[in-house]
Every structure is written in structure tokens, then in C-alpha cells.
Amino acid sequence: MQLTVTMRRCVALVVVLTMSMAFSQPKLLICMPGKQNTQRLQNGFDTLVGQGTAIVLGRIKDVEALLPVNPDAAIISSKAFFNYLPGYTYVLVGKKKQQAGEKYFIVTASKEISKESIARQKVGIIDFLNKDRLPKFVHDQFNLNITFLKRVNKEDDLLTMLGMEVVDAIIVSASQYRDIYPNTRLPLTIIATSENNVGFAVCAAKEGKIDDKLVQALLKTPVYILKELGIDSWEKP
């Protein structure tokens, strides 16, 4: 079977990207699904730490795909991600108004949905842990085994799905809830609150081994990049 021109171009692109990553070996992988502007973040980190030093990714599964070929790269992601990724130590912790974490909520727009019935319903959630770990996160935080979790990469998609009744409820952080509440006429109700605060963005490295120059650069991260990551500042743990 002959490849079309488009297919050949796609194959060539994949090969080029693979070779590029193999030779450049980025020192930092960044992924904070939700409302981040991936290209804006990439441009910002290129300026902050130098081109080729960092790769910004929009999906957690892309981070996990790159880990085997970039085992020494530090990672910026949600603190919860590292609860299920052993061997990594925090080198920087993101803070927001001097807080290191926040509660998560299960939110619905239907009076017929309750915490007691939600386990049998469809629930939307940002895919910040990948599909195998999200159910464990939900169980750990809400003591619920939800049968169907609808994963999305963008915060706006959660409200859209809820409004179109694609899902019966959504799981959001407290800050995400504050963002979406003023932008909808849906009668939102919080039916469950997480048992613990969940951390914001952190930077972690295997066994805490990271280039000190990279840490010093990250401590000077501009406000607009911090905002894209959902934090106000970095602090050493």
C-alpha cells in the first residue's frame, strides 16, 4: 500500500521530532492541563531557560511517553501527579496566596444528583493524572468509586459538557470553581468536597537531582508564566 503525500509528511515529522528529542535531551518537561496556553508557555520557558531546555506538553500521557527517553528531566506538573509517580522529589513548590494547595469539589447543575448517587453517574474531570490514576485520586479524595469519568484537557470543556448534559457532574479545584461560577447561568451546587487539600504546581526531579542554574532561573519566573501554571510564586521546600 502506497503512502499518500500527507502520510509521508506525517511520518517524516515524527522521525524528525524523535531524532530532535534524542539529541537535545530537554532538562524540563511541563504539563498543567486545564486552561494553559501551551504555545504561550513554551515561548515563555524558551525565553526563561533557553530554547531546547524545556518542552511544554498539553497532555499528561505525552509526559509519560517522554519519560523513558528523558529519564533525567525535571517535571513541572500538579503535585497530585507525583503522588502516583515514585522516585521524584520536590525541588520547588508552587504557592498561591501563600497556600500550597486547595480543596476539590464535585459540582452538579441537577437537583436530582447527590453524593450518594454520583457514583453511578457520568462525571467530567481534567485529565491531570491519566486514566488509570484518576479513579484512585477520586477514591482517595472523595471515598467514591465513580464508574464513568469523562476526561478532558481544558477547563472550558467541563462547563460545556455539564451545560449540554454530556455529564451529570464535574470535578474541579476550588480555584477552577471560582473561575467558572461567574461565567454560567447553570444552578451549580457543590455536592462533595475533597478530604484533603490538593497541591498546586510543583517542580520535581528524580531523587531531587536538578541543575542548580535551572532552579535559579525558575525562581525568576515572570508573573505571566506563573499565572499560566496557576500559581503566584515558587518556593523551595
- For each of the chain's 237 residues, which pLDDT tens digit applies? 444 544 555 444 444 344 444 446 899 999 999 877 899 999 999 999 999 999 999 999 999 999 999 999 999 999 999 998 889 999 999 999 989 999 999 999 999 999 999 999 999 999 999 778 999 999 999 999 998 999 998 888 999 999 999 999 999 999 999 988 998 999 999 999 999 999 999 999 999 999 999 999 999 999 999 999 999 999 999
For residue 21, the model assigns a pLDDT of 46
For residue 25, the model assigns a pLDDT of 85
Q: How far is CA 150 from CA 25, 145, 170, 188, 231, in A?
A: 33, 14, 9, 18, 26
Q: What contacts 53, CB < 8 A, 6 or more positions away?
A: 26, 27, 28, 45, 46, 214
C-alpha cell at 40: 504561550
Residues 44 and 108 occupy one common structural domain: no
Residues 32 and 83 occupy one common structural domain: yes
Q: What is the pLDDT of residues 71-104, one digit of tens each?
A: 999 999 999 999 988 899 999 999 999 899 999 9
Residues 190 and 108 occupy one common structural domain: yes
Do residues 77 and 67 lie in contact, with contact meaning Cβ atoms separated by under 8 Å? no
Phi and psi for 83 in degrees, rounded to 5?
A: -65, -20
Do residues 106 and 118 lie in contact, with contact meaning Cβ atoms separated by under 8 Å? yes
Residues 55 and 143 occupy one common structural domain: no
Residues 26 and 40 occupy one common structural domain: yes
Residues 181 and 220 occupy one common structural domain: no
Parallel/antiparallel/unpaired status of strands 54-56 and 28-30: parallel
Q: What is the pLDDT of residues 96-116, one digit of tens each?
A: 998 999 999 999 999 999 999
Among candidates 153, 151, 174, which has minimal Cα distance to 58?
Answer: 153
CATH number at residue 77: 3.40.190
For residue 89, the model assigns a pLDDT of 96
For residue 10, the model assigns a pLDDT of 47
pTM given for the model = 0.87
Q: How many domains does the chain have?
A: 2
Residues 113 and 182 occupy one common structural domain: yes
For residue 24, the model assigns a pLDDT of 64
Torsion of CA 152, 62, 132, 205, to 10 degrees: -120
C-alpha cell at 163: 451545560
Residues 154 and 69 occupy one common structural domain: no
Residues 77 and 140 occupy one common structural domain: no
Domain encompassing residue 211: 5-96+200-235
Beta-bridged to residue 126, according to DSSP, are: 152
Residues 190 and 116 occupy one common structural domain: yes
Residues 90 and 124 occupy one common structural domain: no
Distance CA 183, CA 119 (A): 27
Residues 111 and 186 occupy one common structural domain: yes
